[in-house]
Amino acid sequence: MKDKVKNMRLFLAFIMGFSLLWAAEVSSVQNKTTIWQSAMNGDLKNVQNYVGNGISIDATDSNKRTALMMAAFNGHTEVVRWLLIQNASIDLEDVQGRTALIFCSSGPFVTTLELLLKQKVNVNHADKDEGFTALMFAASEGHLLNVKLLIKYGADPKVKDKDGDTALAHASKNKHTAIAKYLSKL
């Protein structure tokens, strides 16, 4: 289990990078980037141009990832804010059942995370693969501020993943003692 969560963010980046490389290869024929690449890179102007030219705010790539998910993954708050103002759907899931909130929680992006949490979002949503919640991702990656924020907005620390582990177990297994201490007091 420890090996599964130790490099979770790296794995997510690899998978996202692979799909972006594929998208870049396809779009390079047209000599342009995609809305998903623009969102992941924090290029608000380009994202706005895509939407202004008729691309759906909730358009998905080959892995069902939206621009909102991509921007959230890299903590691009202004892109996320703009997409939400344009009514991007916050609870859409990629092929693994991960949402923008889950993607954001795995990185040190407190401002972006709070922006997402202020929306009507399912804070306890679990992905399809492992049953991980945003709180579990944050705890696994050692992001104490994210953990505290998720708890503040109603994340349930007692939720268990498919292996029966809670966010506390994920923090403990990855030697994030401050997070484990915090969660053990709840």
This prediction has a pTM of 0.85
CATH of the domain at 21: 1.25.40.20
Domains identified in the chain, total number:
1
What local confidence, expressed as pLDDT, does residue 19 receive? Answer: 47
What are the CA-CA distances from residue 146 to residues 29, 60, 66, 105 (Å)? 40, 26, 22, 6
What local confidence, expressed as pLDDT, does residue 24 receive? Answer: 40
Question: Where in the sequence is the domain holding 164, given as residue range(s)?
Answer: 2-184
What local confidence, expressed as pLDDT, does residue 10 receive? Answer: 52
Token pair for 158: 């007692």
What local confidence, expressed as pLDDT, does residue 30 receive? Answer: 39
* The residue to which tokens 């759906």 are assigned: 56
Beta-bridge partner residues of 133: 126
Q: How far does Cα 97 stand from its chain's mean position?
A: 11
Q: How far does Cα 19 stand from its chain's mean position?
A: 15
What local confidence, expressed as pLDDT, does residue 11 receive? Answer: 52
Q: How far apart are CA 117 and CA 33, in angstroms?
A: 29
What local confidence, expressed as pLDDT, does residue 62 receive? Answer: 92
Q: What is the pLDDT along the chain (186 residues), one digit of tens a residue?
A: 444 544 565 555 554 554 444 444 333 333 357 999 999 999 999 999 999 999 999 999 999 999 999 999 999 999 999 999 999 999 999 999 999 999 999 999 999 999 999 998 999 999 999 999 999 999 999 999 999 999 999 999 999 999 999 999 999 999 999 999 999 999
